[in-house]
Amino acid sequence: ITDESVQAYGPAGDAYLHSGMYTFELGDADNRTPVQARFSYVWQKQGNEWKISHHHSSVRPPVPVSAAEMKTIAQTNFKRWNDALQTKDPKKVAALYSSGELSFLPTVSPKHITDTTDTEQYFVDFVLKNPF
């Protein structure tokens, strides 16, 4: 266990929540892989025995990308988009847009675009305006 907390519940302290972070290993004895995980247990006293009434364990989510890393990703992706636009190939530009759950409010159109067919058609018209 690398981090933990315990919270008591019930008037007689007959239940508690134990939660935290831990590392365990998977694999054969000569080839173990460490796995960082989080856990929570609710233990309840039933008679003279403690019993688990809730158990959760899951792999710890990845560490979020830093603001600096995200800015680099954003700048790289903007360059990809602009480079595609400069080819004047609507298919190349439209290929950068999501094929599902798209919400695109284009610069020179009153339309709210939500699919790739309309995205490509928008760029067919847009590249004729010679954007730079």
What local confidence, expressed as pLDDT, does residue 55 receive? Answer: 95
What local confidence, expressed as pLDDT, does residue 100 receive? Answer: 80
Neighbours of 99 (CB within 10 A): 11
Q: What is the pLDDT of residues 19-47, one digit of tens each?
A: 999 999 999 999 999 999 999 999 999 99
pLDDT grade for 89, boundaries at 50, 70 and 90:
very high
Mean local confidence (pLDDT), 59-68: 91
